[in-house]
């Protein structure tokens, strides 16, 4: 009967509003529909995820080409559910036909830990007698158990417990009072929590104990700052306003801005997903990317002492960058005129939920776009740039990741990530040596060395889906200085190496050649340069994955072994560490290594001039210091995708200049289009 009612409602909707775009995330109504359909057939289940089952690419490409005549791709939900006995089900629900397309019990996997899963552990930990006992040993009396907190990570993988039970490791902390930062008071033991039985099944206790630190709080909340002298008073306001509103148009989830056209999706896992990115090149709409997203990440910690090897969080695959997204209705994180989008999810009980203002879309001034002055006279042009920023911020327990997808007028796509939030901390006895695996950032607080490695998934569509990746190395020319061919020794060129198979494409960054990678369409040459049209991946924060071959994190995070992997496109290959990441052993490695092995074993392993996906792992290695504590100043990282030989000239020449004067105007003393002075010490450019 519920289903009938939903169908009635759906019918009413379809009569009045157009159907969702095939790339649109599921609406709350669609999530509710999917849950009802599953429930009707499979009874009561806990829902882990109900998300858009993305349209198959072949169908979708046909529809994008001819939306009025091609058949609309199936609108479907991708469902992950867990039954009362802990069995995991993966299914697909056709929302048009209102039927389950596929449904299977998937053995030996654990789906990601949701916010609800995270929330429940702390309450149980506080009441567990063995935890209370451990707290007592460290100096925390039973009556203070309300001051004990935990960040309940997935267990990652622990060979003692395997994959059969759904487990979390509770990283333990203490707060002297509710508002003080717990990360100043890490506790030295680690309870293991079984989410199925809701019980602590084990506690890892170090051989050397570390009693609760007696150091005073080190906090960043306003009262703490007031206590220490108060906030600085010498910052004058900067106002950023757009009285005429924004320069972009949004049609549902499609943004049109400065020749760019972008569909903005969002899912529980990756957060923002950008689809069907095109650039209007003087009237010709040219495809650039079919899909861009952050597909996975891993944060390996460098302390080899047990059980710290378990700290290598896959924040996207194990928790969900979408699920952990901040609602920006709580505080405005951007300036200017902001357009927000909400995000819809399912909760464990099967009801749809909403994160208000999950995505922020806004413009920023981008400084000088180009400038040139003729040294002969006072002729000059200076043009300011503008950028469009599509962002979300997610909180992974202690850390914050701010993700900014930035579009430039010159055709560049930039991914910026800012790391902020709080260091993961462990306890240290007075005078204890960190052995170089961490830094004492405050008395009794050991912040371990770690890396943040992100996997950018680039599904290119450079003037069409058949693309090829080239490695580009700045290389010295042949012949030593003094030789006939290179008399003055100054010859150098861009050495390009084509990748023809996924194995060839497994490649690392080489700072010594300033290595970049070109995603090219070899079927189309630039009219002037006669080189293939391409987008170049420029990425400089590309540390090697520091866990050793054969080690736990190395096995589980196969995607991080190389800066670049290239695979042939496959609808099923979205997540480079696998679909279900918690408690994978890495034997065998899921995701990228498995796909590549499979491709290489088959005869269809060509990645030359075909539909491909490039996976780029980048990030940074963080050796903490006291400056990062008790809350870390944002540390930014940048990856660029730049058009090279894609346009026949700078595509932003028609952006109105701030000031332009030609030589003939300079000769006549004409002061051409210039900037308007509003008042002394304040200039406004239009």
Tell which positions 56-85 bind its own copies, by CB under 8 A.
Answer: none
Q: Is residue 631 involved in binding its own copies (CB under 8 A)?
A: yes
For its own copies, which is the closer residue by CB, 567 or 617?
617
Cis peptide leading into residue 248 (ω within 30°):
no
Instruction: Write out the two tokens for 479.
Output: 């012949």
Task: Report helix, strand or coil for 525.
Answer: strand
Which residue among 399, 499, 509, 569 is the active-site one? 399
Name which of residues 654 to 673 contact its own copies (CB under 8 A).
654-664, 667, 672-673
Member of 132, 203, 380, 506 binding its own copies (CB under 8 A): 380
Contact 397/421 with Cβ under 8 angstroms?
no
Nearest residue to 186 (alpha-carbon basis) of 239, 140, 238: 140
The secondary structure of residue 313, as a DSSP letter, is: E
Stretch that binds its own copies, among 60-68, 199-207, 262-270, 674-682 (CB under 8 A): 674-682
Member of 11, 65, 160, 530 binding its own copies (CB under 8 A): 530
**Catalytic (active site) residue 315:** yes
For its own copies, which is the closer residue by CB, 211 or 544?
544
How distant is the alpha carbon of residue 416 from its chain centre? 10
Those residues with Cβ within 8 angstroms of residue 53's Cβ, 6 or more apart along the chain or in another chain: 74, 76, 77, 78, 92, 93
For its own copies, which is the closer residue by CB, 112 or 422?
422
For its own copies, which is the closer residue by CB, 100 or 131?
131
- Cβ neighbours of 430 (radius 10 Å): 12
Name which of residues 608 to 627 contact its own copies (CB under 8 A).
620-621, 623, 625-627
How distant is the alpha carbon of residue 39 from its chain centre? 32
Which residue among 90, 117, 128, 315 is the active-site one? 315
Name which of residues 257 to 316 contact its own copies (CB under 8 A).
258, 282, 300-304, 306, 308-309, 312
Q: Is residue 421 involved in binding its own copies (CB under 8 A)?
A: yes
What is the 3 state secondary structure string of 36-53? HHHHHHHCCCEEEEEEEE
For its own copies, which is the closer residue by CB, 15 or 208?
208
Please state the closest distance from residue 22 (CB atom) to its own copies, in A.
27
Member of 317, 411, 558, 576 binding its own copies (CB under 8 A): 411
Please state the closest distance from residue 150 (CB atom) to its own copies, in A.
10
Handedness of CA 282, 285, 290, 295 (dihedral sign): positive
Instruction: Write out the two tokens for 419.
Output: 């790391």
What is the 3 state secondary structure string of 146-192? HHEEEEEEECCCCCCCCCCCCEEEEEEEECCCCCCCHHHCECCCEEE
Instruction: Quote the CA–CA distance of 354 and 27 in Å, as a whole number.
Output: 10
Contact 635/420 with Cβ under 8 angstroms?
yes
Stretch that binds its own copies, among 162-170, 189-197, 242-250, 591-599 (CB under 8 A): 242-250
Please state the closest distance from residue 58 (CB atom) to its own copies, in A.
32
Stretch that binds its own copies, among 27-35, 162-170, 404-412, 605-613 (CB under 8 A): 404-412
Please state the closest distance from residue 3 (CB atom) to its own copies, in A.
35
Member of 381, 406, 614, 639 binding its own copies (CB under 8 A): 381
**DSSP code string of 566-624:** EEE--TT---TT-SS-TT---SSPPSHHHHHHHHHHSS----SSEEEEEEEEEEEEE--
How distant is the alpha carbon of residue 99 from its chain centre? 32
Please state the closest distance from residue 534 (CB atom) to its own copies, in A.
9
Member of 542, 577, 612, 613 binding its own copies (CB under 8 A): 542
Please state the closest distance from residue 353 (CB atom) to its own copies, in A.
15
Instruction: Quote the CA–CA distance of 125 and 130 in Å, as a whole number.
Output: 9
Give 12: exposed, middle or buried? Use CB within 10 Å, 0-12, 13-18, 19+: exposed
Name which of residues 324 to 343 contact its own copies (CB under 8 A).
324, 326, 330-333, 335-339
Handedness of CA 116, 118, 122, 125 (dihedral sign): positive
The secondary structure of residue 628, as a DSSP letter, is: G
**HSE-up (13 A, CA, CB side) for residue 120:** 16
For its own copies, which is the closer residue by CB, 162 or 674?
674
Member of 94, 116, 120, 122 binding its own copies (CB under 8 A): 122
Cis peptide leading into residue 307 (ω within 30°):
yes
Name which of residues 164 to 203 contact its own copies (CB under 8 A).
178-179
Name which of residues 455 to 494 contact its own copies (CB under 8 A).
472, 474, 476-477, 479-482, 485-494
For its own copies, which is the closer residue by CB, 65 or 678?
678
Member of 108, 141, 216, 674 binding its own copies (CB under 8 A): 674
How distant is the alpha carbon of residue 504 from its chain centre? 26
Contact 554/544 with Cβ under 8 angstroms?
no
**HSE-up (13 A, CA, CB side) for residue 46:** 17
Scanning the structure block, which residue is given the tokens 């770690």? 450
Binding residues with its own copies: total (CB under 8 A): 190
Q: Is residue 94 involved in binding its own copies (CB under 8 A)?
A: no
For its own copies, which is the closer residue by CB, 94 or 635?
635
Please state the closest distance from residue 464 (CB atom) to its own copies, in A.
19
Member of 130, 136, 220, 587 binding its own copies (CB under 8 A): 220
Q: Is residue 397 involved in binding its own copies (CB under 8 A)?
A: yes
Please state the closest distance from residue 30 (CB atom) to its own copies, in A.
27
Name which of residues 145 to 164 contact its own copies (CB under 8 A).
149
Residues designated catalytic:
315, 399
């Amino acid at each position: 009967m519920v289903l009938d009612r939903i169908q009635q409602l759906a019918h009413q909707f379809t009569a009045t509003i157009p159907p969702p775009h095939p790339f649109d995330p599921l609406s709350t109504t669609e999530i509710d529909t999917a849950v009802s359909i599953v429930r009707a057939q499979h009874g009561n289940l806990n829902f882990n995820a109900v998300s858009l089952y993305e349209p198959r690419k072949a169908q979708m490409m046909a529809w994008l080409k001819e939306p009025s005549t091609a058949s609309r791709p199936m609108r479907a939900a991708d469902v992950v559910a867990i039954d009362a006995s802990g069995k995991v089900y993966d299914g697909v629900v056709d929302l048009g036909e209102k039927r389950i397309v596929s449904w299977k019990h998937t053995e030996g996997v654990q789906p990601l830990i949701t916010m609800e899963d995270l929330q429940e552990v702390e309450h149980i930990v506080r009441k567990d007698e063995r935890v209370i006992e451990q707290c007592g040993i460290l100096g925390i009396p039973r009556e203070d158990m309300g001051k004990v907190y935990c960040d309940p990570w997935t267990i990652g993988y622990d060979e003692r417990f395997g994959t059969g039970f759904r487990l979390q490791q509770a990283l333990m902390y203490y707060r002297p009072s509710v508002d003080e930062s717990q990360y100043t008071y890490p506790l030295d033991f680690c309870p293991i929590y079984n989410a199925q039985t809701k019980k602590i099944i084990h506690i890892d206790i170090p051989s050397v104990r570390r009693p609760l630190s007696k150091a005073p709080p080190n906090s960043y909340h306003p009262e703490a700052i007031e206590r220490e002298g108060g906030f600085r008073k010498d910052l004058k306001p900067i106002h950023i306003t757009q009285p005429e509103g924004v320069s972009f148009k949004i049609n549902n989830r499609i943004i049109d801005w400065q020749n760019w056209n972008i569909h903005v999706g969002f899912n529980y896992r990756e957060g923002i997903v950008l689809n069907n990115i095109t650039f209007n090149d003087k009237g010709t709409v040219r495809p650039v990317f079919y899909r861009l997203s952050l597909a996975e990440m891993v944060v390996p910690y460098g302390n080899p002492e047990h059980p710290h090897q378990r700290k290598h969080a896959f924040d996207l695959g194990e928790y969900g960058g979408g699920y952990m997204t901040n609602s920006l209705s709580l505080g405005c994180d951007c300036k200017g005129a902001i357009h927000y989008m909400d995000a819809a999810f399912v909760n464990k009980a099967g009801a749809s939920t909403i994160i208000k203002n999950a995505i922020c879309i806004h413009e920023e001034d981008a400084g000088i776009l180009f400038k040139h002055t003729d040294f002969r006279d006072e002729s000059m042009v200076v043009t300011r740039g503008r950028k469009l920023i599509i962002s979300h911020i997610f909180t992974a327990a202690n850390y914050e990741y701010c993700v900014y997808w930035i579009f430039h007028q010159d055709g560049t796509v930039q991914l910026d990530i800012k790391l902020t939030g709080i260091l993961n901390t462990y306890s240290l006895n007075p005078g204890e040596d960190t052995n170089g695996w961490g830094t004492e950032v405050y008395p009794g607080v050991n912040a371990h060395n770690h890396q943040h490695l992100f996997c950018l998934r680039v599904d290119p569509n450079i003037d069409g889906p058949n693309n090829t990746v080239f490695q580009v190395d700045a290389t010295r020319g042949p012949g030593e200085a003094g030789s006939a061919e290179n008399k003055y020794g100054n010859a150098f060129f861009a050495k390009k190496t084509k990748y023809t198979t996924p194995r060839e494409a497994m490649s690392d960054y080489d700072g010594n050649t300033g290595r970049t990678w070109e995603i090219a369409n070899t079927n189309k040459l630039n009219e002037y340069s006669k080189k293939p049209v391409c987008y170049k991946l420029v990425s400089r924060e590309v540390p090697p994955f520091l866990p050793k071959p054969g080690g736990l994190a190395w096995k589980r995070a196969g995607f991080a072994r190389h800066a670049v992997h290239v695979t042939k496109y496959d609808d099923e290959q979205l997540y480079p560490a696998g679909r279900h990441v918690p408690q994978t052993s890495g034997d065998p490695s899921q995701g990228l290594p498995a796909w590549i092995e499979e491709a290489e074993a088959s005869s269809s392993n060509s990645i030359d001039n075909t539909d491909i996906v490039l996976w780029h792992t980048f990030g940074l290695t963080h050796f903490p210091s006291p400056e990062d504590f008790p809350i870390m100043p944002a540390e930014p990282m940048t990856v660029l995708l730049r058009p090279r030989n894609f346009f026949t000239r700078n595509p932003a020449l028609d952006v109105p200049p701030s000031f332009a004067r030609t030589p003939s105007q300079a000769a006549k003393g004409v002061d051409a289009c210039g900037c308007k002075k509003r008042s002394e010490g304040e200039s406004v450019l239009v």
